[in-house]
Amino acid sequence: MTVQIARRTTLSMAVALGGAALTGLTAGPARAAGIADVDAFVSRHNGALIDYDGYPTDWPWQCFDLWVYYCREVVGFQNVLSTQYGSHPGYACAIWDGFDYNGSGGYFNKIDAGSAPQKGDIAVWQWGAYNHATSHVAVVLEDRGSNVLVFEQNGWPDRHCAVQQTTKSGIAGYLRPKQFVGPVAPPGSPLPNNDTVAFQANTGNMFSVGPNGTKDHQLGMRAGTSPSIAKLTSGINAFAVHANTGGLWTVDASGTYNRQIGMMAGTSPALTALNDGTYKVALQSNTGSLCTYGSAGGWDYRQGVMAGTSPAIATLANGDTIIAFQANTGSLFTLGPDGTRDWQQGMMVGTSPAITAIGNEYQIAFQANTGSLITYGAAGNKDWQLGMMKDTSPSITTLSDGSFIAAFQANTGDLYTAGPSGIRNWGLGMMNKTSPSVSAWGSAAGFEVAFQANTGSLFTVGSRLDKDWQQGMMAGTSPSGGH
């Protein structure tokens, strides 16, 4: 099963999705920070007129020419990306509009226009923008609120290569060179919404990063398992872990507790916040049965769960909970207020579903036994024809506009997101046998994804914060965050 992404054969540079895996993240950025390269680029070309193609003949010194030079001299690739995609082929806006098809994803991360740009980003103005009616592209030097200081060619008032301030009005977004992904946020910067990410550190203990910095919870975890976190109605986080003693433990404002429930080896608990301020945990017990634990105690549903897989749980708007799991038949099951349902959908061995509430309904994401990403539920049933990496599972969350977004490791090893708003290859390599965690952020359908990079470090990317947290994670484990 290969990732099926629409692309044309006329690209000047193609990114292989179905064949060899992309490099993604490496052990460190290509350059220490890249800022020296940006400064050198500005110094080298400031005041000049640069051109690579002699087009158009009446004024060949276009903003696109500076973009080409920047890509070659700073970002580090020589081929010219196609501008044939989008509503205005041949113009600068096509760099942004055609991002998913022109190969940019191999070198840049997309940053939305509402985020603060950083030095070295590429700013792209959309068609019809103020001061840039036919679109524009420039190198960001400094964020100045509603304006931005850029290095540009064919700008205003100086049409040479020049450092000039211009309005952000009409910016479609920013492209951030991947070697600059590290410095986006300084160490200790809070996550969106003051959220927290939990993970198993390479010491074997549960760690978390968030508004209060990095914390070692001094709670040893079982090998190959991952924690679960949820923000309660009080704003306080609760955690659930499969401890190295083999049982379920929880951490909340009142303390750390051994819940005296044995768990199946290689499985992880799932935790959801309830409307009454408490929480409920779903897990596979050491008998292979689906169980829950909450304020009312534990419950064994006597539903067989496939070995090596873990359930998912969500709270609906009306307070009911819904659980999704891979049954010991290999089929997707749910258990909730309407009873137990066999969806008659075969799941890939060793994988687990994800579930999110959409009002009083829900949406499920899972890896089918074909290796493809599938979503089922209130927002419709769909085979996305997107190949997933073996031994990995998707994550799904509901956005502020009521739609959903799923995050997963593609069969190329890269982080992908998919939802009604589109499909995106983030071009970031993930560690083998690990899965991402996605959570909603903000009021503009934003989201953040936490994952273990192929460097072994915890990363977050999305609408607000792209960061290497420089926190080593245990091999074969995945983070949980932002919920």
Residue 280: which residues within 8 A CB-CB, separation 6 or more?
Answer: 271, 272, 274, 292, 293, 294, 295, 313, 315, 321
Name the pLDDT band for 466 (thresholds 50, 70, 90). confident
Q: What residue has token string 């490496």?
A: 26
**What is the 8-class DSSP label of residue 190?**
P
| CA distance linking residue 278 with residue 284, whole number of Å | 21
- Does the pLDDT at position 109 exceed 70? yes
The pTM of the full predicted model, rounded to 2 decimals, is 0.66
Residue 435 clears pLDDT 70, i.e. is over it: yes
User: Who wins on pLDDT, 178 or 2?
Assistant: 178
396 exposure class (CB count in 10 Å sphere: 0-12, 13-18, 19+)? buried
pLDDT, one tens digit per residue, over 226-277 is: 999 999 998 889 999 999 999 999 999 899 999 999 999 999 999 999 999 9
Q: Over the stretch 118-160, which tens digit does the pLDDT of each residue have?
A: 889 999 999 998 778 899 999 999 999 999 999 999 998 999 9
Output the six-digit token pair for 255.
Answer: 């303390």
Q: What is the pLDDT of residue 37?
A: 79
User: What are the domain boundaries of the chain?
Assistant: 35-181, 192-481
Q: What token pair was written down for 151? A: 């290095």
Q: Judge whether residue 359 has pLDDT over 90.
A: yes
* Pick from 113-117, 177-181, 196-200, 294-298: least confident: 177-181
Measured CA angle at 301 (ends 299, 302), to 5 deg: 125
Architecture per CATH, domain 35-181, reads as Alpha-Beta Complex (3.90)
**Residues 6 or more apart from 318 whose CB is under 8 A from it?**
360
- Whether pLDDT at 191 is above 70: no
Q: Does residue 54 contact residue 64 with C-beta atoms inside 8 Å?
A: no
Confidence band for 76, pLDDT divided at 50, 70 and 90: confident
Report the top-level CATH class of 192-481. Answer: mainly beta
By three-state DSSP, how is residue 69 classified?
helix
pLDDT tens by residue, 312-332: 999 999 999 999 999 999 999
In the three-class reduction of DSSP (H, G, I as helix; E, B as strand; rest coil), residue 16 is classed as coil
The half-sphere exposure of 10 on its side-chain side, counting CA atoms within 13 A, is 4
Asked whether residue 382 carries a pLDDT value surpassing 50, the answer given is: yes
Residue 266 falls in which region: left (phi positive, over 0), alpha (psi -120 to 50) or beta: left
List of residues 6+ apart from 366 with CB closer than 8 A = 324, 326, 332, 345, 347, 351, 352, 353, 354, 373, 374, 376, 393, 394
Burial 111-142 (b: 16+ CB within 10 A, else e): bebebebbbbbbbbbbbebeebeebbbbbbbe
